[in-house]
Amino acid sequence: MKYQTGRAGRIIVAKFEDHEDVLCNLAGLAKTENIRAGIFYLVGGMREGRIVVGPETDDLPPKPVWKTLGESHEVVGLGTIFWHDDEPRIHFHGAFGKKDKVSVGCLREKSEVFLVLEAVIIEMEGITARRELDPVSGMVLLKL
């Protein structure tokens, strides 16, 4: 295990409105506010989304299993912001529920708000972590 210590910096509260793109707007906010390291919480609704619900097998590189939301869902979850080269990268895992069905996964593509989605972002100061391409997994992973 590798780790760094830091402290909480600014706290930003954001409200995403109907049809807005969650991942794009989070990355844009991180870039505008120059949030180099952060943690965020999301709560609200999404109408569209593509999530990864696990790899097909435990082999590397992993082949993701995709699930499309395709309609309104309640969402709650936690994510991080760290930069890869000159761009912020968002990593968000959440629970997505509709009626009696719940999926948990990593939101990676198409992320459209239903009605309203709230975000609380906590900037982490003193953390120099970043994301780098991992040649074994083929994924952009956290590097300390």
Q: CATH no. for residue 17? A: 3.30.1330.80
pLDDT band at 137 (very low <50, low <70, confident <90, very high): very high
> Amino acid identity, residue 54?
G
What is the mean predicted confidence (pLDDT) over 107-114?
94
- Structural domain includes residue 78: yes
Structural domain boundaries, residue 46: 10-143
The answer to whether residue 37 sits within a structural domain is yes
Cβ neighbours, 10 Å, residue 92: 23
- The per-residue pLDDT for range 34-74, each reduced to its tens digit, is 999 999 999 999 999 999 999 999 999 999 999 999 899 99
Q: Which residues contact residue 90 at a Cβ distance below 8 angstroms, ignoring those fewer than 6 apart?
A: 23, 26, 27, 30, 79, 80, 81
- Residue 79, domain member (yes or no): yes
Residue 37 is predicted with a pLDDT of 98
* pLDDT number for residue 136: 92
Q: Give the pLDDT of residue 101.
A: 94
pTM, 2 dp: 0.94
The answer to whether residue 59 is domain-embedded is yes
> Is 111:48 a contact under the CB 8 Å cutoff?
yes
Whether residue 3 lies inside any domain: the answer is: no
CA nearest to 11, candidates 127, 122, 119, 126? 122
Q: What is the pLDDT of residue 17?
A: 96
Q: For residues 88 and 41, give the distance between their C-alpha atoms in angstroms, rounded to a whole number.
A: 16
State percent of the chain over pLDDT 90. 98
Total domains in the chain come to 1
- Is 104 a member of any domain? yes
